[in-house]
Amino acid sequence: MKRVFIAIKIEPEQTLLRIQASLKSALGGERINWTDTTNIHITIAFLGDTEEEMLKLLSIMVSQKCSEFGKFRLRLKGTGVFKNLRDPRVIWAGIESNERLVKLFEIISTGLKETGFKIEDRSFKPHITLGRIKSLSNPDNLVSAIEKYKEVVIQEVPVNEVIIYESILKPTGPVYKVIGRFSL
């Protein structure tokens, strides 16, 4: 059994690294688990615990869906939080509205259902997780830190492949191991 997700890898450029460093500095006294810059990605689908025999079916399906799709570009823009500012859980960098990204999500989701995978039934909100909030003593610092980058264009991202990852949870944070890479 492997804990699996499908994602687009993001190679962080200077602006993204600077924004995360600035947020870390502004929120230094808070209990936040910051995303390691080598783990930055956009999740297409989180599958959770997956049987080994299903991984082969998954790889075949993702390969088929991606081979016909074609490369595209997207733009990272702005920062914000999930759940909300009164009860924040995740600090994120946003993705500018992108029809090709939504279409990729839709064809992979359809493929997952057709292949027998159970996926979360919620709307697709593409983002990059910068940090997970454990507790917050000063919410005002969070608000001002997030507001500072709310409308900033962060970077252009070429999307050339989709990756199936195994997420191995460790006390120091998750380790992502590539199971398969699938060119668009």
Say how many domains are in the chain.
1
Which CATH number fits the domain that encloses residue 155?
A: 3.90.1140.10
Q: Is the pTM of this model over 0.85?
A: yes
* Residues with a known catalytic role: 41, 127
The tokens for 22 are 């600035």
Nearest to 93, CA basis, from 163, 157, 45, 46: 157
- Range list of H helices, the chain: 14-26, 52-67, 99-115, 139-148
Please say whether the beta carbons of 61 and 44 come within 8 A. no
Q: How confident is the model over 173-182, as pLDDT tens digits?
A: 899 999 999 9
What gap in Å lies between CA 182 and CA 99, rounded to an integer? 20
Spans in the chain with pLDDT lower than 50: none
Q: Residue 168's domain spans which residues?
A: 2-183
Q: What is the CA radius of gyration of the chain?
A: 17
Evaluate whether 165 touches 5 at the Cβ level (below 8 Å).
yes
